[in-house]
Structure 1
Amino acid sequence: MMNQAHLLAQFKKMQAEMQKAQEELANTVVSGTAAGGAVTVEVTCDQRVKRVHIGKDAVDPDDVETLEDLITVAVNDALGKANEASQKRMGSVTGGMKLPGLM
């Protein structure tokens, strides 16, 4: 049976690894695209939008709805990739356990 000191040491180690992983994720940027790259959105893996690029071909003043749709698709694509990267990284720290509030 493990003693409390050993469990506490393991917990502190996991806590430090999780902090490091969260810092890495905050600095990891992924991209989402729409319409073959006409709209590109870059987000960090902690879900912060870093950059939105809209190509000239995607801009039509008479069709703003299409541009809005393309931006939505690109943002959702980027956030999906960020979430996937976050789950993968945090899963390596937690041994695959899903801990509430971490992912």
Structure 2
Amino acid sequence: MKNIMGMMKQAQELQQKMQDAQAEIAELEIEGTAGAGLVRVKLSGQGQIKAISIDPSLIDPQEPEMLEDLIMAAHNDAKSRSESVIAEKMKDVTGGLNLPEGMKLPF
């Protein structure tokens, strides 16, 4: 019975750590860049775009596709960086355990 109580306490501690990590992740802002830093996209820890910065030299009405591609590349860079940061934070919380897909954070 004592073993079950210990497991329950550990589960509660893990739940609190997960909640703390979720709050910390929600506050993150991760920036991705493209075009040698001329296009920047900032994402929240939950994947929402917080800001986009475009150097005016890139704004050419004759070539909108280039700017569109750079914005997508900067977004993808920010998303990749965000996923890495979140994975590292979750690794710290779970002590390196690989949680099943259904137990992972939804963002």
Which TM-score band applies after superposition, normalised by the shorter structure?
over 0.9
* Contact residue 34 and residue 73 of structure 1 kept, 8 A: yes
- Across the aligned residues of Structure 1 and Structure 2, the Cα RMSD in angstroms comes to 1.5
**CA separation of 1:2 and 1:91: change in aligned 2, threshold 3 A:** farther
Q: Which residue of 2 aligns with 1:25?
A: 25
Q: Which residue of 1 aligns with 2:12?
A: 12
Give unmatched runs, 5+ long, in structure 1. none
Query: Which letter maps to 2:77?
Result: D
* Contact residue 34 and residue 70 of structure 1 kept, 8 A: yes
Q: Which residue of 1 aligns with 2:39?
A: 39
Q: Which residue of 2 aligns with 1:70?
A: 70
**CA separation of 1:11 and 1:88: change in aligned 2, threshold 3 A:** same
Count of aligned positions = 103
Query: Which letter maps to 1:41?
Result: V
**CA separation of 1:61 and 1:6: change in aligned 2, threshold 3 A:** same
Give unmatched runs, 5+ long, in structure 2. none
Runs of 4+ aligned structure 1 residues displaced above 3 Å come to: none
Q: Specify the SS of the correspondent of 1:26.
A: helix
TM-score (norm 2): 0.89
